Structure 1
Amino acid sequence: MNTARKTLSPVVAALLVFAAGCAGDEPEARPTTVVTAAEEKPEPEPLTLEVAEREFRTFVTNDDVARAAGDERLALNWVSDGESPLIAAEYRKAAFDGDPVKRYTYGKPKLYVPKLEPDVFPQWFVASVPRSVQGEKKSEETALMAFILRSPEDHWTLSLQAELDPKAKQPKIPLDAEGYATALTTADSSVLIRPREMPGIHATLVYEGPGSVAAKVMRSGPVTTGYYEQFRKARRKARQKDLTLTRVPTATPYPIFQLRTEHGGGLVLYSLYRNSVTGVKDKEDRTAKPPIPPEIAHLLDGTVEGNEIHASEVLQFAAYDPARPEEGDKGDEGDGEDGEKKEPDKAEVIADAGGYYKGVTPPAKNP
């Protein structure tokens, strides 16, 4: 018996495959893979003094165009981080009051540009510039403005700005032979308060007051212990009107900017939130409602749905952070010329700005 196998010719095999395809269902269509060329990413532009000057002027020009036209959307295109909600609230308040948005006249800026690796983001620089409100006499102030670029595909925006206290002196920021400043890291321990801890220290001092442990490293002032005293007075007035008031400062997720100053210190720019709740004492009285504070009237529609009003602020600051004393050194503490003890160096807030950006009146909670 012959057990040899017979093989099909290539032609017969092809015909059988074709017939099988015709006899059954149509084969499923296979997706076609389209190969496209990878998009080219723009080369990072190194941050130079010239770039900083150009971007500062670009912002000033575009911001003024937006303000002149009352164009909130255009204005928001040139800001980010804490500046975004503040600018939106500013335009909303101007519309609510029926006033034009403020316009500014700027002087010559001092630009503090750190040397950063061109492929490391974000890129940033700080400007210190005199400015005044157009049409308002004696309105000149010094603005500290931090600009940021998050990626090569993005454009520069204003992230933070604070106004120098008229009684404060801006610390000197040394520049190298080419005119560049030195950036600190957020974890730099050569200064008294590591920059990333500055918002938390500040918030603690605002919340706890002069008796706080934070008072050992940060000076009292209008926007530190002053905020604490303001809250205590406001809470007393609220109680007299059968109202309750809470107000809590917290850190924000916004960037922190830090530059080396002379004598080993630092200039730190940062932000805080401050959230307030005003309510009625008698929560079971469904008709009792707190009055709308005038400072947030533009953020509400004129009615209070429940028995509480929630308001949120963005507060922006610049603080001088002195050099950390060496081991065994108490800084400037010691006997002065008149024999009195000198206070050791502490961080000091020298510039601030900000305001309310959100107000809501949630429905009353079920008793």
Structure 2
Amino acid sequence: MHSFLRVVAAGVLLTLLAAAGCAEGRTEARPTAGVPETSPPAPVPLTPQVAESAFRAYVTDEDVARSAGDERLALTWTSDGQSQLTAAEFRKAAYDGDPVQRFVYGKPKLYVPKLKDAAYPQWFVVSVDRSVLGKDKSKRRTLMGFILRGPSDHWKLTLATLLQEKAKEPKVAIDADGYATALSTDDPSMLIRPRDVGGIQATIAAEGPRSVAAKVMKSSAVTTGFYQDAKRDRKKAKKKDLTLQVVYTATPFPYFGLRTEHGGGLVIYSLFRNTSLVAKDPDTPKPEIPQEAEHLLDGTVEGNEVDTTATLHFAAYDPPKAKKNATQPKAHMIADDGAVTKAATPPVKKQP
């Protein structure tokens, strides 16, 4: 920035000197300093063709990184929660002494919203069959969200989640030009505002089937099931004189909403699950490191506490508000995936 200012200042000075020379009757040419003009790359409008090219490039680049076991390269093609999950996956593979898994993709369905040409971030969603290379019967329908944050950036996978075995993927509405329709964050035609879907799920996970939130979202393994899991795990911890706390929270990561046929919505988003296992009594043995977090720690518990954070990716179907006197269907979960991405064993806090 300072060098730019110096160049501009020099140009102004030379212009003033040239003017002074002319005033004195001098006719010789005076040099002028030019500042090269630079402009950011022109925005490329998001089209289904652009999205398909970006997806194909990602598939190729991802496999190059995974086949080489190159975590740093793999992380250049991801962002947000998917970066956290990818880093944890590479670390677990190294801990177990296994190669990181590679994927084989089927024919994708691309859901490309019609966005303003100069607006960023750009994004699109892909629905595709994905299998683990070398593993028979591993094929799962996967929903993947891609994002481009600016004209100088490149497309990155921000989240991926797996369709549940018995779930039906809602049909995203596609217009004659091949575009989907993005839902606004507070779309009033939806039963749940798209931005609140994750909060409703987190509330049910915390409060259980009697929660007010359960009136608008169906019971499932990742709603009331999360509540029951935490309740059971707290009882197990208590028998060992340990205290377990489980909290689901929002993330700062992007979420995506797409209009489905018949007025509903497909909402794809992330949550954090934070757990804290504490031995409050000094005579109680230190808590053991959970198996799902072993690869993130060095095998020792320094203090009397083990904390973990899981990054979880979900997709839900958000129905339209029912017309007057009609039965209102509930929202329901259709996809989930995730893993523990952070763990810590903080030292005992010193009392003041």
Residue of structure 1 aligned with 2:6, choices 33, 44, 52: 33
Report if aligned partners of 2:280, 2:304 keep a CA contact under 8 Å in 1. no
State whether structure 2 residue 85 is matched by structure 1 residue 66.
Answer: no
Cα shift at 1:38 = 3.8
Which residue is 1:106 aligned to? Answer: 105
- Deviations 1:214-257 (CA, angstroms, capped at 9, x unpaired): 00111110111111111111111111112110000011111110
Residue 32 to residue 71, structure 1, CA distance change in 2 (3 Å): closer
Instruction: Tell me if 1:357 matches 2:341.
Output: yes
Kindly indicate whether residue 215 of structure 2 is the aligned counterpart of residue 231 of structure 1: no
SS of alignment partner, residue 239 of structure 1:
helix
Work out whether residues 237 and 244 of structure 2, in 8 Å CA contact, stay in contact via their aligned partners in 1: yes
Tell me what 1:191 maps to.
190
CA distance in 2, matches of 1:142, 1:222: 18
Letter in 2 for 1:242: D
Residues 114-164 of structure 1: per-residue CA shift (max 9 Å, x gap): 110111111000000001111111111100001000111111000111100
1:32 Cα deviation (Å)?
A: 7.8
Secondary structure in structure 2 of the residue aligned to 1:143: strand
In structure 1, what is the equivalent of residue 249 of structure 2? 250
Task: Report whether the alignment pairs 1:347 with 2:331.
Answer: yes
Q: Give the aligned partner of residue 7 of structure 1.
A: none
Is contact 1:160-1:316 (8 Å) kept?
yes
Provide the C-alpha distance between the structure 1 equivalents of 2:220 and 2:306, rounded to a whole number of angstroms: 28
Between stretches 174-183 and 66-75, larger displacement belongs to: 174-183
Instruction: Write the mapping of 1:98-247 to structure 2, written as runs, cut at 5 A.
Output: 98-247=97-246
Structure 1 segments, 4+ long, off by >2 Å, are 35-39
Q: Residues 72 and 91 of structure 1 are in contact (CA less than 8 Å); yes or no, is this contact kept in structure 2?
A: yes
Residues 96 and 298 of structure 1 are in contact (CA less than 8 Å); yes or no, is this contact kept in structure 2?
A: yes
- Whether contact under 8 Å (1:186, 1:256) holds in the other structure is no
Q: CA RMSD in A?
A: 1.3
Deviations 1:87-125 (A, max 9, x none): 000000000000010111000000011110111111000
Deviations 1:22-61 (A, max 9, x none): xxxxxxxxx9821343421000001011101100011111
Counterparts of 1:33 and 1:62 in 2: how far apart (Å)?
Answer: 42
From 292, 295, 300, the equivalent of 2:292 is 295
Q: Say whether 1:267 aligns with 2:255.
A: no
Distance 1:59 1:194 in 2: 31
How far apart in 2 are the matches of 1:274 and 1:186?
23
> Compared with structure 1, are the counterparts of its residues 32 and 204 closer, same or farther at alpha carbon in structure 2 (3 Å cutoff)?
closer
Aligned counterpart for 2:305 among listed residues 294, 304, 308: 308
Take 1:41 and 1:262, find their aligned partners in 2: how far apart are those partners? 38
CA distance in 1, matches of 2:38, 2:196: 40
Q: Is the 8 A contact 1:110 1:127 kept in 2?
A: yes
Task: Output the amino acid matched with 2:262.
Answer: H
Alpha-carbon distance in structure 2 between the residues aligned to 1:231 and 1:151: 41
User: What amino acid does structure 2 have at the position aligned with 1:95?
Assistant: A
Q: Cα offset for 1:268?
A: 0.3
For 2:272 and 2:188, the matched residues in 1 are separated by 25
**Alpha-carbon distance in 1 for matches of 2:236, 2:198:** 28
> Please, which runs of 5 or more residues in structure 1 have no aligned partner?
1-30, 333-343
Alpha-carbon distance change, 351 to 32 in structure 1, aligned in 2, over 3 angstroms: closer
The residue that corresponds to 1:12 in the other structure is none
The share of aligned pairs that are identical, in percent, is: 59
CA distance in 2 between counterparts of 1:266 and 1:293 reads 37
Cα drift, residue 281 of structure 1: 3.5
Q: How far, CA to CA, are the matches of 2:245 and 2:51 in structure 1?
A: 42
User: What SS does the aligned partner of 2:177 have?
Assistant: coil
Aligned to 1:325: 322
Provide the aligned length of Structure 1 versus Structure 2. Answer: 322
